[in-house]
Chains A and B, each alone.
Chain A
Amino acid sequence: MERHLILEDGTVFSGQGFGAPATTFGEIIFDTAMSGYQETITNPIYDGQMIVFAMPVVGADGIHAEAYESTTPKIRGVIVHDLAEVSTNRQRRMNLDRFLQHHNIPGLYEVDTRKLIRHLRETGPQKATIVDVVDDHAVDQLVATVLTNKQVQNTATPKAYANPGRGFHIIVIDFGLKHGILRVLGDYDANVTVLPFTTTVDEVLTLDPDGIILSTGPGNPKDLPDEVSTLVRVLQTKVPLLGLGLGHELLALANGAGVKALPAEYHGMNHPIQEIISQSIFYARQGRGYVIDEESLDSKKLFVTHRDLVDGSIQGIRLRNYPAFSVQFFPDGAPGPLEANGIFADFFETVADYVQKNS
């Protein structure tokens, strides 16, 4: 059935509906990666957003149990050029169409996605809605809709839980954790405790962690309560700390740096990232709407450790006086290259060092 995508600036794109026949509102962005649609769709960082895939054929690999980045996708719409039909028998129990139906998420295919992306790269992300009929009512609804800024509250765990292992005790503070991080911690046999972001310093330290991870998550870091900054500021002086994605932005904020919205978000895995200290380059999945504001960075407190060589943006920082560091990109891949996995190896070496020196 023909359905439509209306953008806040009045532009309309038409296509065929798939997934759920729902009408939704969200912030529309585009993704240039050629693989990993399932991981992307289920990544909690996309809470409240609609994604246009530049990859023209989406769905050919079905939906797999091992490719979930969260159990419940929080995305508001999926726009593709061509939806691949695959059967749902044997090893593929689920396909993209049924998956989106199940989670009440609308999809749109047969859209001129290249035109849409070329449009969005000029306008930046904007509000959008997927509807059956384009009329004044639909447009009014879109204009009137205020998108939530409570995405972290919406996706992060409200309760602590454990993912036990026999290695170092790693506490993950959850801002909208993607499973990839837990998968990697599992590879290190870490003894993981996931805590809600509302946890207090005492609660964390009572658990006697060997290291702390500030997780990835959706939205604007400045929308989080001030207590988060305080928490980070204390924890960074106590044990080795690694910030990822939103966690990276939070580490920056806690240390006096500013964070600003990008004119056009970047979601993909093809930008080179340079590790400044070694000058080597690698590629990693990025999904960012915000970056650290270069001007605001206090170089007496922080180093810049990584940069995106395409737009020059800061991709990694490190505290001068404490073993705390963070990266904007996703070193766990899922989807995406595995080259940046070494960030976790560094973290665990740092943790081992810390444990040895303090035992």
Chain B
Amino acid sequence: MYKKIVEKPIENILFIGGGETDFGLQGESDAAIYQVLPILNSLGYTTSVIDDNPYSLAIESPATTGFLRPLTVENVKAVLAEQNIDAVLPTFGGTRALRLWDQVLAEWRPENGPVPTSLGLKPSQLHQVNDGRLLFDRIIDAGLNVTASAVVKNQEEASELLREMELPLVVRAHQPIQTTTRQIIDRLDDFDQVVSQVMGQSLTHEVSIAKAINGLKEISVLVLRDRDGNCLKVGSSEDMDPIGIHSADSLSVAPVLTVSDQVLQQMRAQSFLIANLLGLQGVLHVQFAFNEKTGDIYVIKVSPYLDQLTNRMAVMTGYPVMLVAAQLAVGKLLTEVVLPNAFHAKTAIMEPVMDHIVVKLPVFSFGDMEATGTQVSRQLNSVQKSVGSALGFGRTFVEAMEKAIRSAHFNNRSFAPKYMADVSDDELIQQLIHPQDNRVLLLIEALRRGYEVDELAELTNIDEFYFYQLKRLLAIELSVDQQPGDAEALKMAKKSGLSDGLLARFWRTDFQSIRQLARANDIIPTYKALEPSAGEFPEHARQFFATFEEENESNPVCDRSVVIIGPGAFRMGDGASAGYMTSVTLSELHRLKYKTIIMNNNAADPTLLPHLSDKQYLEPLETSDVMSVIDRENPHAVLVPGNRKKLIAALEDLGQNVIVFPKEKHHPAGPEFSQSEFVLNLFYDGKDKFPLIIFQHQPGQIRLLDQEINPNFLAGLDLQSPGLYQVIWRVDINQWVSQVDLPNLSIDTWLRPMPYGHIAYLTKVLKMPLGRMVVRAWIGQLNAADRQLLAEVNTNPNFERLALMASATDYALHWKPDHWVDTTRFEMGARIAPYADEEG
């Protein structure tokens, strides 16, 4: 009879994590893995996660077995054996995980046992994806354009073309005799020889040469595919800046606004075609270039794995992309996907539609480095410069953009009208053509100085639509400026996303009086639900953003709620770990039966995952935004990061119960090369101080000391509020030690709150939930067992020999600094590395 191939059902799945944070790699992989673990459990799977990122939330999840180990072939193989793994899901870890898994497969030996199933992508496809050329050849064979190309008949024509093109070039035989005749030319010297060689491979003696596609519109499309080939489009977004500027460094907007339905449908069809070509199960991100003049569409990048757009689309649309993608990867059909009760029953199979606009703005941290005297290149090009991004949600482009600007910058100082006045006309032209990180400001300034829309659109290759929008913003600013104290002007300004703070600056008053004027005139935000049906169905939405319209949809959660102010966009320093700590806090408060309300605007970290909090406000984090939410929710307490001094003061003025989340502004500090910094970590529960462990910090690395600390040492330390702290001193030692003499506490040391990253690291190596304990201490719920655990660490330390290493971020490539940069001081991320104890 009919034999359907029945494979042994998979039971044990290994996730390969995304590894350390870097340019283009924030916490998205970790957030995604963390999110899907519980649902896979409920479907009967056992999971394991391997990652070398000490800030990983996923490896701490109670829903999995986590392995904090370097991401190597040996370690993956070891976990496979230890955990009896029968399937590996590498696509959630992005490109690094895909390469590693490909390598594991290549090095698989019969004695390793049966090869585990590759979920998401089959091994052969995985290999094509890792070798981009193979993948693009298949895409070309399927009839899609990959880049604009010209066909030439002879060497002269080819040389002619060379003058207009930049290397590297792609040369292919036109109407090839054989199928694979694609050559990449990296060196000018090779050009003639390759062209004549390829010409010989063409039936018609013609060669097609790929052209640079700078200046075209860039569109991203995200789709899902199941094992039977059913595809669903999650969404698409467009970049304001043309190709030539890295997509991550451009303002981008979703949904797509300036491209016709016909073009979007072709991109959709091409995305589905590529998904089917790869036979993938899960998520696919395709980047397209679109030439408006000719109507040509080019495929420029294919990412059949989880990347930043995946998480961002989930937040922007309310469609649970990762929960669905994981189930497709393990073999479910789109029609079989199961979602938590909070979602509408049909959510998984309905393509999400948006009735709001989301603007993503890149965040650059050039200033942090420049402040220390290092010059960097601020010019935007095809190499990513931004370290993070923030989202702005609104019902018009202007509103979403203003809110994105405020989200990315915390304050609006740089957006006040006078700020750009110093730029000379020559500089302005230069920067219009060679964009820098102040892109949007510069475009507004150009309009302010009377440049015509046509002219600007031509100079910048930016769609006219954006200039008309920026002109609207300029007009609003102007009318606000001219009508101080006018309620109508205020209303218009609020509708356009402007903050009370910026208005106060315009009207030379304080923001309290703006707030009062707004309230007196009934100008208060109406919160709109963010849900994937655009209002078609009644929903139990828990995501909201502020607008100034008629109907408000957000009702207060309850009286035992806590508002948590998120860390906002990823920045240098403890950016990689701020999301971790905020998420741990949300999770612990939830466990303690508080209703949690998060405010944040960064989609790359886990803080906005729907299951982590009871309600999410997708908002900027300026004082006026926070106050409006507090007015609406009337929470029991507000949790604010310690570096938000102004916000804390404002909330306390309003009589709010503020809990300060200890955090300092990023200081590029650390020991010199001949030095070691010693750090005594301690826990203060409001009454007792618990010394935990000492670690030694040499440039680039931290190791733990196996040394008992005399509790009396801390007797003289004066602490204000419960939390984790560090007592620090420096010694001129440039080798690793196992013991250190304690210094004079009052003279040689200084005190700081424990950075989030160290909390994440110590939680893992000491195997005790320090983050959660600190949350318990804040709200007076630290229990006796906690205290006993804390007391035991010092006397009976039991830690893994894993050093905390600063990532070797390639600043030279991305920022071109004028001298060498110590990545410990400008941390983008971190990883762990095992070490052996020093002898003697």
- The reply to whether A339 and B269 form a contact with Cβ atoms under 8 Å apart is yes
Identify the interface centre among A32, A64, A121: most chain B CB within 10 Å of its CB: A32
A39-B353 CB under 8 A given contacts A32-B536, A112-B550, A112-B551: no
Across-interface contacts of B354 in A (CB, < 8 A): 34, 55
Residue of B whose beta carbon sits closest to that of A52? B535
B549 at the interface (CB under 8 A from A): yes
Across-interface contacts of A339 in B (CB, < 8 A): 231, 269, 272
A338-B265 CB under 8 A given contacts A32-B535, A54-B534, A114-B528: yes
The segment from A81-89, A97-105, A220-228, A294-302 found at the interface with B is A81-89
- The reply to whether B356 and A56 form a contact with Cβ atoms under 8 Å apart is yes
- The reply to whether B549 and A112 form a contact with Cβ atoms under 8 Å apart is yes
A117 at the interface (CB under 8 A from B): yes
- The reply to whether B232 and A57 form a contact with Cβ atoms under 8 Å apart is no
- The reply to whether B397 and A82 form a contact with Cβ atoms under 8 Å apart is yes
Residue of B whose beta carbon sits closest to that of A13? B550
Chain A nearest CB, measured from B142 CB (Å):
15
- The reply to whether B255 and A34 form a contact with Cβ atoms under 8 Å apart is yes
B451 at the interface (CB under 8 A from A): no
Report the Cα distance A56→B545, complex, angstroms. 14
Interface residues on A, range: 35 or more
Across-interface contacts of A283 in B (CB, < 8 A): 232-233, 351
Report the Cα distance A81→B266, complex, angstroms. 27
Among A54, A67, A281, contact of B355 (Cβ-Cβ < 8 Å): A54
- The reply to whether B549 and A114 form a contact with Cβ atoms under 8 Å apart is yes
A87-B453 CB under 8 A given contacts A34-B255, A268-B536, A339-B269: yes
- The reply to whether A60 and B396 form a contact with Cβ atoms under 8 Å apart is no
- The reply to whether A280 and B232 form a contact with Cβ atoms under 8 Å apart is no
Residue of A whose beta carbon sits closest to that of B349? A272
- The reply to whether A270 and B269 form a contact with Cβ atoms under 8 Å apart is no
Chain A nearest CB, measured from B491 CB (Å):
11
The segment from B202-210, B256-264, B364-372, B614-622 found at the interface with A is B256-264
A271 at the interface (CB under 8 A from B): yes
Residue of B whose beta carbon sits closest to that of A335? B261
Report the Cα distance A254→B371, complex, angstroms. 79
Across-interface contacts of A272 in B (CB, < 8 A): 232, 334-335, 349-351
B215 at the interface (CB under 8 A from A): no
Residue of B whose beta carbon sits closest to that of A64? B260
Report the Cα distance A38→B264, complex, angstroms. 14
Across-interface contacts of A113 in B (CB, < 8 A): 355
Report the Cα distance A67→B295, complex, angstroms. 14
Among A35, A82, A87, A271, contact of B395 (Cβ-Cβ < 8 Å): A82
Across-interface contacts of B231 in A (CB, < 8 A): 339
A166 at the interface (CB under 8 A from B): no
Instruction: Tell me which residues from 185 to 200 in chain A have a Cβ below 8 Å from any Cβ of chain B.
Output: none
Residue of B whose beta carbon sits closest to that of A120? B535
Instruction: Tell me which residues from 312 to 338 in chain A have a Cβ below 8 Å from any Cβ of chain B.
Output: 333-338
B465 at the interface (CB under 8 A from A): yes
B2 at the interface (CB under 8 A from A): no
Report the Cα distance A43→B334, complex, angstroms. 31
- The reply to whether B261 and A35 form a contact with Cβ atoms under 8 Å apart is yes
Among A55, A85, A281, contact of B334 (Cβ-Cβ < 8 Å): A281
Report the Cα distance A283→B255, complex, angstroms. 18
- The reply to whether B228 and A280 form a contact with Cβ atoms under 8 Å apart is yes
Report the Cα distance A336→B257, complex, angstroms. 15
> 1/0 per position for B391-434, CB-CB distance to A under 8 A?
00001110000000000000000000000000000000000000
Report the Cα distance A113→B526, complex, angstroms. 13
Across-interface contacts of A271 in B (CB, < 8 A): 350
> 1/0 per position for A238-272, CB-CB distance to B under 8 A?
00000000000000000000000000001011111
- The reply to whether A57 and B257 form a contact with Cβ atoms under 8 Å apart is yes
Residue of A whose beta carbon sits closest to that of B471? A85
A115 at the interface (CB under 8 A from B): yes
- The reply to whether A268 and B353 form a contact with Cβ atoms under 8 Å apart is yes
A54-B350 CB under 8 A given contacts A115-B550, A337-B268, A339-B272: no
> 1/0 per position for A74-111, CB-CB distance to B under 8 A?
00000001101111010100000000000000000000
Report the Cα distance A35→B267, complex, angstroms. 13
Across-interface contacts of B334 in A (CB, < 8 A): 272, 281
Report the Cα distance A89→B457, complex, angstroms. 13
> 1/0 per position for A39-59, CB-CB distance to B under 8 A?
100000000000000111100
Report the Cα distance A115→B528, complex, angstroms. 9
- The reply to whether B265 and A337 form a contact with Cβ atoms under 8 Å apart is yes
- The reply to whether A67 and B269 form a contact with Cβ atoms under 8 Å apart is no
- The reply to whether A121 and B464 form a contact with Cβ atoms under 8 Å apart is no
- The reply to whether B260 and A118 form a contact with Cβ atoms under 8 Å apart is no
A57-B260 CB under 8 A given contacts A32-B536, A82-B396: no
Identify the interface centre among A56, A61, A266, A339: most chain B CB within 10 Å of its CB: A56
Across-interface contacts of A279 in B (CB, < 8 A): 228, 335
A67-B349 CB under 8 A given contacts A34-B354, A121-B537: no
A67-B268 CB under 8 A given contacts A54-B534, A271-B350: no
Instruction: Tell me which residues from 523 to 564 in chain B have a Cβ below 8 Å from any Cβ of chain A.
Output: 526, 528, 533-538, 549-551
B156 at the interface (CB under 8 A from A): no
Residue of B whose beta carbon sits closest to that of A122? B538
> 1/0 per position for B181-206, CB-CB distance to A under 8 A?
00000000000000000000000000
Across-interface contacts of B268 in A (CB, < 8 A): 337-338
Instruction: Tell me which residues from 208 to 262 in chain B have a Cβ below 8 Å from any Cβ of chain A.
Output: 228-233, 255-262
B522 at the interface (CB under 8 A from A): no
Report the Cα distance A81→B550, complex, angstroms. 12
- The reply to whether A81 and B256 form a contact with Cβ atoms under 8 Å apart is no
- The reply to whether A84 and B257 form a contact with Cβ atoms under 8 Å apart is yes
Across-interface contacts of A269 in B (CB, < 8 A): 351
Identify the interface centre among B232, B292, B464, B472: most chain A CB within 10 Å of its CB: B464
> 1/0 per position for B340-368, CB-CB distance to A under 8 A?
00000010011111111100000000000
Across-interface contacts of B292 in A (CB, < 8 A): 91
A201 at the interface (CB under 8 A from B): no
A36 at the interface (CB under 8 A from B): yes
Chain A nearest CB, measured from B178 CB (Å):
31
Across-interface contacts of B526 in A (CB, < 8 A): 112
Report the Cα distance A57→B400, complex, angstroms. 11
Residue of B whose beta carbon sits closest to that of A60? B257
Residue of A whose beta carbon sits closest to that of B264? A35
Across-interface contacts of A310 in B (CB, < 8 A): 346, 349-350
A281-B349 CB under 8 A given contacts A55-B255, A57-B397, A115-B549: yes
Report the Cα distance A84→B351, complex, angstroms. 25
- The reply to whether A114 and B551 form a contact with Cβ atoms under 8 Å apart is yes
A160 at the interface (CB under 8 A from B): no
B454 at the interface (CB under 8 A from A): yes
Report the Cα distance A265→B818, complex, angstroms. 63
A56-B357 CB under 8 A given contacts A82-B395, A85-B468: yes
Across-interface contacts of A336 in B (CB, < 8 A): 261, 265
A309 at the interface (CB under 8 A from B): yes
- The reply to whether A338 and B353 form a contact with Cβ atoms under 8 Å apart is no
Report the Cα distance A114→B551, complex, angstroms. 8
Instruction: Tell me which residues from 116 to 134 in chain A have a Cβ below 8 Å from any Cβ of chain B.
Output: 117-118, 121
Report the Cα distance A34→B265, complex, angstroms. 12
Q: List 10 other contacts, CB 8 Å, given A54-B355, A56-B396, A114-B549.
A: A57-B357, A60-B258, A61-B258, A61-B260, A84-B469, A114-B355, A114-B395, A281-B349, A310-B346, A333-B261
Please list the 10 inter-chain residue pairs (A to B) with the smallest Cβ-Cβ separation, ordered nearest first. A36-B261, A115-B551, A335-B261, A270-B351, A54-B534, A35-B261, A117-B535, A112-B549, A112-B550, A60-B257
> What are 6 residue pairs bridging A and B, where the CB atoms are less than 8 Å apart in the complex?
A60-B465, A67-B260, A87-B468, A112-B549, A274-B335, A283-B233
Taking beta carbons and an 8 Å cutoff, which residues of B are in contact with A? 228-233, 255-262, 264-266, 268-269, 272, 292-293, 334-335, 346, 349-357, 395-397, 453-454, 464-465, 468-469, 472, 526, 528, 533-538, 549-551
Taking beta carbons and an 8 Å cutoff, which residues of A are in contact with B? 30, 32-36, 38-39, 54-57, 60-61, 64, 66-67, 81-82, 84-87, 89, 91, 112-115, 117-118, 121, 266, 268-272, 274, 279-283, 309-310, 333-339
